[in-house]
Structure 1
Amino acid sequence: MPSLEYEFTYRAALNPLIDIGAGPYGNRIVGEVIGGDFSGPRLKGKVLSGGADWALVGADGRLRIDVRLQLLSDDGAAIYLAYYGILEFNEKMQQALAQGGGTEFADHYWRTNPRFETGHPKYAWMNHGVFIGEGRMLPGRIAEYRVYRVS
Protein backbone atom coordinates (compact mmCIF):
# COMPACT_ATOMS: atom_id res chain seq x y z
CA MET A 1 0.00 0.00 0.00
CA PRO A 2 1.50 3.39 -0.97
CA SER A 3 2.06 5.95 1.75
CA LEU A 4 2.73 9.69 1.74
CA GLU A 5 6.00 11.24 2.88
CA TYR A 6 6.11 14.96 3.59
CA GLU A 7 8.74 16.71 1.44
CA PHE A 8 8.24 20.47 1.80
CA THR A 9 5.90 23.43 2.14
CA TYR A 10 5.99 26.28 -0.31
CA ARG A 11 4.40 29.68 -0.40
CA ALA A 12 3.87 31.66 -3.60
CA ALA A 13 2.90 35.34 -3.48
CA LEU A 14 0.46 36.31 -6.24
CA ASN A 15 -0.38 39.53 -8.02
CA PRO A 16 -4.11 40.34 -8.18
CA LEU A 17 -5.87 37.82 -10.43
CA ILE A 18 -6.43 38.75 -14.06
CA ASP A 19 -9.85 37.70 -15.34
CA ILE A 20 -9.43 36.83 -19.02
CA GLY A 21 -13.15 36.07 -19.26
CA ALA A 22 -15.31 33.33 -20.68
CA GLY A 23 -13.73 31.66 -23.68
CA PRO A 24 -14.24 28.40 -25.52
CA TYR A 25 -12.74 26.33 -22.66
CA GLY A 26 -14.29 28.14 -19.68
CA ASN A 27 -13.59 31.28 -17.69
CA ARG A 28 -9.81 31.79 -17.66
CA ILE A 29 -8.10 33.56 -14.75
CA VAL A 30 -4.37 34.14 -14.42
CA GLY A 31 -2.50 34.44 -11.13
CA GLU A 32 1.04 35.68 -11.67
CA VAL A 33 3.61 34.44 -9.14
CA ILE A 34 5.83 37.27 -7.86
CA GLY A 35 8.01 35.31 -5.43
CA GLY A 36 7.94 33.09 -2.39
CA ASP A 37 9.84 30.44 -0.49
CA PHE A 38 9.93 26.69 0.16
CA SER A 39 11.32 24.60 2.98
CA GLY A 40 11.41 20.95 3.96
CA PRO A 41 13.71 18.30 5.44
CA ARG A 42 15.64 17.78 2.18
CA LEU A 43 15.56 21.19 0.49
CA LYS A 44 14.78 24.86 0.89
CA GLY A 45 15.00 28.01 -1.17
CA LYS A 46 13.08 30.63 -3.12
CA VAL A 47 10.11 30.59 -5.48
CA LEU A 48 11.17 32.89 -8.33
CA SER A 49 8.96 35.43 -10.04
CA GLY A 50 7.82 34.80 -13.60
CA GLY A 51 5.56 31.80 -13.10
CA ALA A 52 1.78 31.77 -13.04
CA ASP A 53 -1.41 29.78 -12.72
CA TRP A 54 -3.39 29.79 -15.97
CA ALA A 55 -6.57 28.41 -14.40
CA LEU A 56 -10.01 27.68 -15.80
CA VAL A 57 -13.17 28.09 -13.73
CA GLY A 58 -15.74 25.49 -14.74
CA ALA A 59 -19.52 25.62 -14.59
CA ASP A 60 -19.25 23.14 -11.70
CA GLY A 61 -17.63 25.77 -9.46
CA ARG A 62 -14.21 24.16 -9.59
CA LEU A 63 -11.02 25.76 -10.72
CA ARG A 64 -8.75 23.67 -12.95
CA ILE A 65 -5.24 24.63 -11.88
CA ASP A 66 -2.44 24.87 -14.48
CA VAL A 67 0.77 26.17 -12.87
CA ARG A 68 4.34 26.47 -14.08
CA LEU A 69 7.08 28.13 -12.05
CA GLN A 70 10.74 28.04 -11.07
CA LEU A 71 12.39 27.23 -7.76
CA LEU A 72 15.95 28.04 -6.73
CA SER A 73 17.36 26.02 -3.82
CA ASP A 74 19.60 27.63 -1.21
CA ASP A 75 22.53 25.69 -2.67
CA GLY A 76 21.93 27.00 -6.20
CA ALA A 77 19.91 24.22 -7.87
CA ALA A 78 17.36 25.40 -10.44
CA ILE A 79 14.14 23.35 -10.29
CA TYR A 80 11.20 23.57 -12.70
CA LEU A 81 7.79 22.90 -11.12
CA ALA A 82 4.58 22.29 -13.06
CA TYR A 83 1.27 20.98 -11.84
CA TYR A 84 -2.39 20.56 -12.58
CA GLY A 85 -5.02 20.28 -9.93
CA ILE A 86 -8.54 20.96 -8.72
CA LEU A 87 -9.63 23.75 -6.40
CA GLU A 88 -13.17 23.92 -5.05
CA PHE A 89 -13.96 27.58 -5.75
CA ASN A 90 -16.42 27.82 -2.86
CA GLU A 91 -17.62 30.84 -0.89
CA LYS A 92 -14.70 30.75 1.57
CA MET A 93 -12.18 30.74 -1.27
CA GLN A 94 -13.96 33.49 -3.21
CA GLN A 95 -14.12 35.62 -0.06
CA ALA A 96 -10.42 35.08 0.68
CA LEU A 97 -9.44 36.13 -2.85
CA ALA A 98 -11.75 39.16 -2.88
CA GLN A 99 -10.70 40.43 0.54
CA GLY A 100 -7.06 39.30 0.66
CA GLY A 101 -7.79 36.88 3.50
CA GLY A 102 -6.87 33.28 4.15
CA THR A 103 -8.38 29.81 4.24
CA GLU A 104 -7.56 26.56 6.03
CA PHE A 105 -6.71 23.28 4.32
CA ALA A 106 -10.09 21.86 5.43
CA ASP A 107 -12.09 24.79 4.01
CA HIS A 108 -12.09 23.41 0.46
CA TYR A 109 -10.82 20.67 -1.80
CA TRP A 110 -7.51 21.95 -3.22
CA ARG A 111 -5.26 19.19 -4.55
CA THR A 112 -2.43 19.17 -7.06
CA ASN A 113 -0.05 16.71 -8.74
CA PRO A 114 3.35 18.46 -8.90
CA ARG A 115 6.05 17.38 -11.37
CA PHE A 116 9.64 18.48 -11.01
CA GLU A 117 12.59 18.77 -13.40
CA THR A 118 16.17 19.48 -12.41
CA GLY A 119 19.63 18.63 -13.66
CA HIS A 120 21.17 18.93 -10.20
CA PRO A 121 22.36 15.49 -9.00
CA LYS A 122 21.47 16.19 -5.36
CA TYR A 123 17.80 16.62 -6.30
CA ALA A 124 17.53 13.94 -9.01
CA TRP A 125 15.06 12.10 -6.73
CA MET A 126 12.54 14.83 -7.61
CA ASN A 127 12.64 13.85 -11.30
CA HIS A 128 11.50 10.31 -10.50
CA GLY A 129 8.86 10.70 -7.81
CA VAL A 130 5.10 10.96 -7.81
CA PHE A 131 3.92 13.87 -5.68
CA ILE A 132 0.66 15.33 -4.44
CA GLY A 133 -0.02 18.68 -2.86
CA GLU A 134 -2.74 20.29 -0.79
CA GLY A 135 -3.29 24.01 -0.80
CA ARG A 136 -4.77 26.92 1.06
CA MET A 137 -4.66 30.72 0.89
CA LEU A 138 -2.77 32.82 3.40
CA PRO A 139 -3.62 36.48 3.98
CA GLY A 140 -2.07 38.79 1.39
CA ARG A 141 -2.72 36.64 -1.73
CA ILE A 142 -0.20 33.93 -0.79
CA ALA A 143 -0.90 30.36 -1.92
CA GLU A 144 0.58 27.79 0.46
CA TYR A 145 1.05 24.14 -0.45
CA ARG A 146 2.17 21.09 1.51
CA VAL A 147 3.86 18.66 -0.89
CA TYR A 148 4.09 14.90 -0.29
CA ARG A 149 5.92 12.15 -2.18
CA VAL A 150 4.03 8.91 -2.79
CA SER A 151 6.27 6.06 -1.64
Structure 2
Amino acid sequence: MPTAATQRYPTLEFVTRLQVEIDSPLELGQAAEGRRRFIPITGGSFSGPGLSGRILAGGGDWQTLRQDGTAVLEARYFLQTHEGDFIEVTNTGYRHASPAIMERLLNGEIVAPEEYYFQTTPRLQTASKNYDWLNRTIFIGDAERMPDSVIVNLFAVN
Protein backbone atom coordinates (compact mmCIF):
# COMPACT_ATOMS: atom_id res chain seq x y z
CA MET A 1 0.00 0.00 0.00
CA PRO A 2 1.46 3.41 -0.94
CA THR A 3 2.38 5.76 1.84
CA ALA A 4 1.20 9.38 2.04
CA ALA A 5 4.63 10.52 0.83
CA THR A 6 4.36 8.48 -2.41
CA GLN A 7 0.64 8.89 -3.15
CA ARG A 8 0.02 10.71 -6.46
CA TYR A 9 -3.20 12.34 -7.56
CA PRO A 10 -3.97 13.26 -11.15
CA THR A 11 -4.52 16.87 -12.12
CA LEU A 12 -6.53 18.33 -14.99
CA GLU A 13 -5.25 20.82 -17.57
CA PHE A 14 -7.72 22.72 -19.75
CA VAL A 15 -7.04 22.04 -23.45
CA THR A 16 -9.96 23.42 -25.49
CA ARG A 17 -13.68 24.23 -25.50
CA LEU A 18 -15.68 22.49 -28.21
CA GLN A 19 -18.99 23.89 -29.42
CA VAL A 20 -20.50 20.99 -31.32
CA GLU A 21 -23.46 22.04 -33.49
CA ILE A 22 -26.21 19.44 -33.79
CA ASP A 23 -29.38 18.79 -35.77
CA SER A 24 -32.70 17.35 -34.58
CA PRO A 25 -32.53 13.79 -33.23
CA LEU A 26 -33.55 10.82 -35.31
CA GLU A 27 -35.60 8.52 -33.09
CA LEU A 28 -35.19 4.77 -33.54
CA GLY A 29 -37.54 4.04 -30.66
CA GLN A 30 -37.57 1.61 -27.78
CA ALA A 31 -35.01 -1.18 -28.19
CA ALA A 32 -33.86 -3.92 -25.84
CA GLU A 33 -31.37 -1.69 -23.97
CA GLY A 34 -33.52 1.47 -23.97
CA ARG A 35 -34.74 4.27 -26.21
CA ARG A 36 -32.29 4.69 -29.14
CA ARG A 37 -31.56 8.01 -30.84
CA PHE A 38 -29.07 9.46 -33.28
CA ILE A 39 -28.12 13.14 -33.22
CA PRO A 40 -26.34 14.38 -36.38
CA ILE A 41 -23.33 16.66 -35.88
CA THR A 42 -23.46 19.52 -38.39
CA GLY A 43 -20.24 21.40 -37.55
CA GLY A 44 -18.92 23.72 -34.89
CA SER A 45 -15.69 25.11 -33.57
CA PHE A 46 -13.14 24.62 -30.80
CA SER A 47 -10.76 27.03 -29.16
CA GLY A 48 -8.31 26.88 -26.29
CA PRO A 49 -4.65 26.99 -25.32
CA GLY A 50 -3.99 23.47 -26.64
CA LEU A 51 -6.22 23.20 -29.74
CA SER A 52 -8.23 25.48 -32.01
CA GLY A 53 -10.10 24.97 -35.26
CA ARG A 54 -13.41 23.72 -36.61
CA ILE A 55 -15.60 20.66 -36.16
CA LEU A 56 -16.47 18.98 -39.44
CA ALA A 57 -20.02 18.06 -40.38
CA GLY A 58 -20.85 14.38 -40.78
CA GLY A 59 -20.36 12.91 -37.33
CA GLY A 60 -23.01 11.94 -34.87
CA ASP A 61 -24.00 10.96 -31.36
CA TRP A 62 -25.58 7.55 -30.84
CA GLN A 63 -27.61 7.60 -27.62
CA THR A 64 -29.37 5.06 -25.47
CA LEU A 65 -31.84 6.45 -22.93
CA ARG A 66 -32.00 3.79 -20.22
CA GLN A 67 -34.94 3.02 -17.98
CA ASP A 68 -33.08 4.51 -14.98
CA GLY A 69 -33.05 7.92 -16.74
CA THR A 70 -29.40 7.83 -17.78
CA ALA A 71 -28.44 8.82 -21.32
CA VAL A 72 -25.52 6.69 -22.52
CA LEU A 73 -23.68 8.66 -25.20
CA GLU A 74 -21.23 7.71 -27.93
CA ALA A 75 -20.27 10.49 -30.33
CA ARG A 76 -17.82 10.24 -33.22
CA TYR A 77 -16.64 13.18 -35.30
CA PHE A 78 -13.63 14.93 -36.82
CA LEU A 79 -11.83 18.12 -35.87
CA GLN A 80 -9.65 20.17 -38.19
CA THR A 81 -7.12 22.45 -36.55
CA HIS A 82 -6.31 25.94 -37.84
CA GLU A 83 -3.10 24.42 -39.24
CA GLY A 84 -5.15 21.90 -41.27
CA ASP A 85 -4.46 18.81 -39.14
CA PHE A 86 -7.28 16.28 -38.69
CA ILE A 87 -8.20 14.75 -35.32
CA GLU A 88 -10.69 11.92 -34.84
CA VAL A 89 -12.80 12.13 -31.68
CA THR A 90 -14.60 9.21 -30.04
CA ASN A 91 -16.44 10.60 -27.04
CA THR A 92 -18.40 8.38 -24.65
CA GLY A 93 -20.18 9.50 -21.54
CA TYR A 94 -23.25 9.77 -19.35
CA ARG A 95 -25.89 12.42 -18.84
CA HIS A 96 -28.46 12.09 -16.06
CA ALA A 97 -30.68 14.16 -13.81
CA SER A 98 -34.08 14.06 -12.19
CA PRO A 99 -36.89 12.95 -14.54
CA ALA A 100 -38.17 16.55 -14.79
CA ILE A 101 -34.74 17.92 -15.76
CA MET A 102 -34.11 15.11 -18.26
CA GLU A 103 -37.48 15.84 -19.89
CA ARG A 104 -36.53 19.52 -20.25
CA LEU A 105 -33.19 18.54 -21.82
CA LEU A 106 -34.88 16.13 -24.24
CA ASN A 107 -37.32 18.90 -25.21
CA GLY A 108 -34.39 21.15 -26.14
CA GLU A 109 -34.79 23.59 -23.26
CA ILE A 110 -31.83 25.43 -21.75
CA VAL A 111 -31.02 23.94 -18.34
CA ALA A 112 -28.25 25.20 -16.07
CA PRO A 113 -25.36 22.69 -16.22
CA GLU A 114 -25.22 22.36 -12.43
CA GLU A 115 -28.72 20.80 -12.55
CA TYR A 116 -27.53 17.64 -14.31
CA TYR A 117 -24.53 15.33 -14.63
CA PHE A 118 -22.89 15.35 -18.07
CA GLN A 119 -19.34 13.98 -18.18
CA THR A 120 -17.46 12.28 -20.99
CA THR A 121 -14.23 10.43 -21.70
CA PRO A 122 -13.02 11.54 -25.14
CA ARG A 123 -10.36 9.64 -27.03
CA LEU A 124 -8.47 11.65 -29.64
CA GLN A 125 -6.44 10.18 -32.49
CA THR A 126 -4.40 11.89 -35.17
CA ALA A 127 -1.67 11.21 -37.73
CA SER A 128 -0.33 14.75 -37.20
CA LYS A 129 3.20 15.05 -35.84
CA ASN A 130 2.21 18.45 -34.37
CA TYR A 131 -0.50 16.87 -32.23
CA ASP A 132 0.94 13.39 -31.61
CA TRP A 133 0.60 13.98 -27.85
CA LEU A 134 -3.20 13.55 -28.29
CA ASN A 135 -2.66 9.86 -29.16
CA ARG A 136 -1.20 9.12 -25.72
CA THR A 137 -3.18 11.40 -23.40
CA ILE A 138 -6.32 10.63 -21.40
CA PHE A 139 -9.01 13.31 -21.51
CA ILE A 140 -12.08 14.20 -19.46
CA GLY A 141 -14.93 16.24 -20.92
CA ASP A 142 -17.23 18.42 -18.83
CA ALA A 143 -20.28 18.95 -21.03
CA GLU A 144 -23.36 21.13 -21.30
CA ARG A 145 -26.42 20.60 -23.53
CA MET A 146 -27.78 23.61 -25.40
CA PRO A 147 -30.84 23.59 -27.74
CA ASP A 148 -28.75 23.37 -30.93
CA SER A 149 -25.29 22.45 -29.66
CA VAL A 150 -23.26 20.62 -27.05
CA ILE A 151 -20.41 22.36 -25.29
CA VAL A 152 -17.53 20.20 -24.09
CA ASN A 153 -14.71 21.64 -22.01
CA LEU A 154 -11.83 19.24 -22.66
CA PHE A 155 -9.21 18.58 -19.99
CA ALA A 156 -6.04 16.49 -20.21
CA VAL A 157 -5.40 14.22 -17.23
CA ASN A 158 -1.83 14.71 -15.97
TM-score by length of 1: 0.93
Match among 18, 21, 32 for residue 26 of structure 2? 18
Match among 36, 41, 54 for residue 46 of structure 1? 54
> Is 1:79 matched with 2:87?
yes
The 1-side partners of 2:34 and 2:105 are apart by 22
SS at match of 1:36: strand
The 1-side partners of 2:57 and 2:106 are apart by 20
The 2-side partners of 1:49 and 1:22 are apart by 27
Structure 2 residue identity aligned to 1:92: I
CA shift for structure 1 position 101:
3.3
Residue of structure 2 equivalent to 1:117: 125
The 2-side partners of 1:24 and 1:96 are apart by 23
Residue of structure 2 equivalent to 1:143: 150
Residue of structure 1 equivalent to 2:135: 127
The 2-side partners of 1:115 and 1:33 are apart by 17
TM-score by length of 2: 0.89
Deviations along 1:90-139, one digit per CA (max 9) or x if unpaired, are: 433432442x432332120001000001011111111100101011123x
SS at match of 2:130: helix
Judged with a 3 Å threshold, the aligned counterparts in structure 2 of structure 1 residues 57 and 97 are, in CA distance, closer, same or farther, namely: closer
How well do the aligned residues superpose, as a CA RMSD in angstroms?
A: 1.3
CA shift for structure 1 position 89:
5.1
Find the structure with the greater CA-based Rg: 2
The 2-side partners of 1:53 and 1:89 are apart by 19
Q: In percent, how many aligned pairs have the same letter?
A: 28
Which piece of structure 1 moves more, 15-24 or 61-70? 15-24
Residue of structure 2 equivalent to 1:63: 71
Residue of structure 2 equivalent to 1:92: 101
Q: How many residue pairs align between the two structures?
A: 149
SS at match of 2:131: helix
Deviations along 1:5-58, one digit per CA (max 9) or x if unpaired, are: 111110111111111101122210111000100011022001111000111000
Structure 1 stretches lacking a partner, 5+ long = none
Structure 2 stretches lacking a partner, 5+ long = 1-8
SS at match of 2:20: strand
Aligned 8 A contact 1:10 1:37 in 2: yes
